[in-house]
Amino acid sequence: MDINEESLQLHEKHRGKLEIKSKIPLEDKHDLAVAYTPGVAAVSLAIGKDKSLAREYTIKHNTVAIVSDGSAILGLGNLGPEAALPVMEGKAILFKQFGNIDAFPICLDTQDTEEIIKTVKHLAPVFGGINLEDISAPRCFEIERRLRAELDIPVMHDDQHGTAVVVLAALINSLKLRGLTKEQVKIVINGAGAAGLAVTQLLLEYGFKNIVVGDTKGAIFEGRAGLNDEKVLIAKSTNREKIKGDLALIIKATDIFVGLSKPNLLLPEMIRSMNEKPIILALANPVPEIMPDQAHSAGAFIVATGRSDFPNQINNVLAFPGIFRGALDNGVVQFSSTMFINAANALAGFVQNPAPDKILPSVFDPGVAAAVAKAIIK
């Protein structure tokens, strides 16, 4: 039985992967009176006088909404909210397993930016944080920006920032192994969607100096026609030399390739045109821009993918449980790039002896989320 058939059978058997359980016993009239009426009235009155007490008395202190409109599900495209639900259920399991956070899927039957923002704002009183998931670009940028500005709880689009944190962590350890500094290296980022632009921005914040971003039309540079607002901003901080051309051209004499694009776009001859012992992060899923064996044969020093069946998996689950755990525990209202950099440093530092095939922790290494949670509020 292949993994797809096994997954279908698992979901059919359990009719979903989540359930709600009570934390308290409900065995007699006294239990009922304390947990519900009349006793609960005292709790409502207290919160009515001081809304911040909702964090002390209710699920709000440890609950995150996983919000999706189903417009960009994994690598599958726009399949709608019903198709998003099993993915968001899985995400909720990861929150609980690795961060001990109670998360719940909210799959919205709208792809209108204003409707999504309005709906999430109406739902926000229940939750201690909002995780945006699988919302297509460029709408995801506006939705996250507005919700961050208008809510008093932390909001994060994991496809952007979770990816960026883990990529940065991978590069921190890769540079140590390669003996290079962030100021020295030249980076090509192929893919200018939500993840690609967020990775670029965090690498710039960290201090990388020489980055060229490419999309389906080639290198992005300041003044290029047809750029959306997010790409215009990135163009101002990258590709200072205004290099033009496709991936085969812009990758020449570079040190690092970060692929957040499509399968099989990176050819062995492109790697051979890079500087000696390049670092390759081929993160398209489920098929990367180049397979690891091909990349190594072409001269790559370090290769990472998004897959669990190869070494060096770039997996967001290394980041988001700890990031939200730290936020909930410390009353964080808004995430910052400093927090994300702290998280990346914690991930990189968790690997005591980095090696070319071990630049990141495993998602199953005990203590990863706790280390990230502790680090973000330094």
Annotated binding site for (S)-malate: 285, 315
Residue 276's SS3 state is coil
Q: 297: Cβ–Cβ under 8 A, 6 or more apart, which residues?
A: 268
Q: Give the distance, in angstroms, between the CA of residue 326 and the centroid of all CA atoms in the same chain.
A: 15
Identity of the residue numbered 32? L
Indicate which residue of 13, 23, 36, 277 is catalytic: 36
Picking from 215, 204, 193, 190, the residue whose alpha carbon sits closest to that of residue 270 is 190
Q: Assess contact for 120 and 65: CB atoms under 8 A.
A: yes
Nearest to 294 by CA among 346, 257, 239: 257
CA distance 43 to 39: 7
Q: Identify residue 266 by its one-letter amino acid code.
A: L
d(CA 49, CA 37): 19
User: How far is it, in rounded angstroms, from Cα 220 to Cα 213?
Assistant: 6
| Separation between Cα atoms, residue 250 and residue 188, nearest integer Å | 7
Active-site residue, from 60, 91, 186, 231: 91
Catalytic-residue membership of 36:
yes
Annotated catalytic, 91?
yes
Write the CB contacts of 310 (distance below 8 Å, at least 6 apart in sequence): 292, 303
Which residue has tokens 């960026």?
A: 164
Alpha-helical regions (H) of 15-52: 29-35, 40-49
Beta strands (DSSP E) in the chain are: 63-68, 102-107, 129-132, 155-157, 186-190, 210-215, 218-219, 256-259, 279-282, 302-305
Q: How far apart are CA 199 and CA 203, in angstroms?
A: 6
Binding residues: 133-134, 159, 285, 315
Residues labelled catalytic: 36, 91
